[in-house]
Amino acid sequence: MYRVSVESIGGMVFLGVLFGVGILMVLAAIKFARQEKSDRKSKKAVLELGIMVAVALLTVGLYVAMRFLNVVEIEDGSLKAVFLTGFKSVEIAQVDMTDVYIIDWKADRQYAPARRIMGTSIGSFREGRFTLSNGDRAYLLANGSRVLVVKTRDDIYFFGPDEFEEFVSDFETNIKKID
């Protein structure tokens, strides 16, 4: 299993948002506690606190999901991946791969993600469906610009886990040699 994690700067952005929401929640709780008992059940105050709790839980959930659930697996001669923001799970068998190669979109700009269709991009982390500079559409699950491109009859996938070299070696050993 190979993780595709948000780089430290992206993780710090999430932690900053989480910290800010936490401070707002503490301030709202203090304000709520200091209110007169007759005002304490005000619908507006309860709604504000409820919204802040929901935002905090959503932020924590996204942070955990992006940090621990974005994985690429090589298992039984196939490649498995989960794209969290698109709610898409794929299993690509070797026989379904029409082309496999490695690119670095910083060097070969035609493969650079140009527009996000659905997904997330924080720093060099990309997850979801993107339109490339050449007009093609691809599913990306990568932390960096150097990726393994897997083409099938229907789709294009870019995989760039944290341990890229180890991933490529494992791919070549268990699935297919790369051109």
Per-residue pLDDT of the chain (179 residues; tens, 9 = 90+): 888 877 655 556 666 777 777 787 777 777 777 766 655 566 777 777 778 778 777 777 766 766 667 889 999 889 999 877 767 789 999 999 999 999 999 999 999 999 999 988 877 889 999 999 999 999 999 999 999 999 999 999 999 999 999 999 999 999 998 87
**70: three-class secondary structure by DSSP:** coil
> CB atoms < 10 A from the CB of 6, how many?
22
Can you spell out the DSSP letters for 20-33? HHHHHHHHHHHHHH
**At what angle are helices 8-34 and 43-68 packed, to 10 degrees?**
160
pTM over 0.85, yes/no? no
Instruction: In whole angstroms, give the CA distance from residue 156 to residue 141.
Output: 11
